[in-house]
Amino acid sequence: MSTKELLINGERLWNSLMEMGKIGATEKGGCNRLALTELDKQARDLFCQWCEAAGCTISVDKMGNIFARREGLDSSLGAVCTGSHLDTQPTGGKFDGVFGVLSGVEILRTLHEGNIQTRAPIEISVWTNEEGSRFQPAMQGSGVYVGRFDLEEEWAKKDVNGYTVKQALEDIGYLGTEEIGSRHIQAFFEAHIEQGPILEDEDKQIGVVRLGQGIRWYNVTVTGRESHAGSTPMHLRADALAAASNIIAQVENIAHAHKPNGLGTTGFMQVYPNSRNTIPGTVTFSVDLRNPDPAVLASMDRMLNEYCEKMAAERDVDVDVDHFWYFEPVEFAASENVKIAAQKLGYSHMDIFAGAGHDACYMADIVPSGMVFTPCKDGISHNEIEFTTPEQCEAGCNVLLHAMLEVAEVVDSKTIKN
């Protein structure tokens, strides 16, 4: 048969997803598998076991990023890579990130059992701490790999219990020795559930991702003065929470002012002293602003900072805005490979942009990259009820396979077995 007829085993892919989903399984059917925990180790170990069984060699770099390599006919060529992450949110689903990793595993298995030779090597990667839940920032492993972040600085980042990234890597046995960024890669692809409702609403099987969302993350600290709730007149208060509440409401206003793609979220807050009858003295909270247009995102940033200055003056509080992470919008140079694969296989498809950050967004800094989106039910993600069907997973993995083969090149299609 021709390479056009080469398809992955959808049932095997689904079974792998379900088996991986048992690691850190939650009562509601999702996963709690935070980065660099014992559960993350178990998931990593299973990935390595599966890849070695498919004839691959395993390497781990100093940030704990894992690379499973299948040699090509010409090993001097840059590898054609795919991958994603195995860590989840505390109340995450079975598919976010994991679908991309296990699609890569299924591609390895398909090529291995068919004795299919590619000219360029194939590599599957597992990137460390994509979610940014236990350690910040998100997409930490791929960010270090491409040079966005400094290795030593990221090693020193701590979780809420004071454990550093480097300690955690050592504890689970994934503090590798390979130098950061030393692999020879010519292209990177990532399959992922959409994490939004557009493909489902448009009744499309595949999203061809053209742009990656721009993201600005902030930690905002409002410092007022705690005092007694029953004996302090309203006009003499410096209520940190009241000021913070106004800022949080303004985050939503900023998003609405930058339609159609402006987004604004506060998802984390700490109140001190957090007592019922004490006026709050200090409030720390997160702000997440997103837009695929860098100029629009810059405008949103200005509005936030100006409003924080206004609140500080009006309410007699200090407002510190720590803009600790900026992820600029990205264009995916290998998106045409994804479109060609979807067309060749007869899947309905549409152009789309990525509303969330992904490892492929950082890989686009150094090599042509592309993303394959598949629908997810009701657009729900970062939630235990996150779901996509076996058929949707199979379609996405098939498109990923053929997008990669467009670049890696099958040497002799006669080696493909029925």
| AA letter at 130 | E
Angle between helices 10-21 and 390-408 (to 10 degrees): 110
| 380-403 average pLDDT score | 97
Q: What is the mean pLDDT of residues 24-29?
A: 96
In 3D space, the residue among 123, 80, 131 whose CA is nearest the CA of residue 105 turns out to be: 123
Residue 413 clears pLDDT 90, i.e. is over it: no
Query: 201-215, pLDDT tens digit by residue?
Result: 999 999 999 988 899
Give the tens place of pLDDT for each residue, 48-94: 999 999 999 999 999 999 999 999 999 999 999 999 999 999 999 99
Beta-carbon neighbour count of residue 197 at 10 Å? 14
Give whole-number Cα distances, 330 to 81, 103, 295, 365, in Å: 18, 23, 13, 8
Phi-psi region of 176 (alpha: psi -120 to 50; beta: other; left: phi over 0): beta
At 1 the pLDDT is 41
The residue extents of the domains of the chain are 3-213+329-415, 215-327
Residue 355: pLDDT over 90: no
Across the range 247-268, mean pLDDT stands at 96
Question: How much is the pLDDT for 36?
Answer: 98
Residue 324 phi/psi, 5-degree rounding, is -90, -5
Between the alpha carbon of residue 40 and those of residues 45, 86, 132, the distances in Å are 9, 7, 14
pLDDT band for position 416 (50/70/90)?
very low
Helix (H, G, I), strand (E, B) or coil at 266: coil
CA dist 138 and 153 (Å) reads 14
Q: What is the pLDDT at residue 328?
A: 85
Domain 3-213+329-415 has CATH 3.40.630.10: yes
CA distances from 178 to 2, 16, 60, 183 (A): 38, 28, 6, 9
| Cβ contact 367:184 at 8 Å | no
Rg (CA), the chain: 23
For the segment 142-201, what is each residue's pLDDT rounded down to a tens digit?
999 999 999 999 999 999 999 999 999 999 999 999 999 999 999 999 999 999 999 999
- What backbone torsions phi and psi does residue 262 show, to the nearest 5 degrees? -70, 135
User: CB–CB of 189/82 below 8 Å?
Assistant: yes
- Tell me how far apart the 2 most distant CA atoms of the chain are, in Å: 86
Mean pLDDT of the chain: 96
Q: Residue 335 pLDDT > 60, yes or no?
A: yes
CATH class of 215-327: alpha beta
Element (H, E) at 1: none
Q: What percent of the chain has pLDDT over 90?
A: 92
Give, in degrees to the nearest 5, the angle at Cα 126 between 121 and 127: 120
For 294-331, the pLDDT digits (tens) are: 999 999 999 999 999 999 999 999 999 999 989 888 99
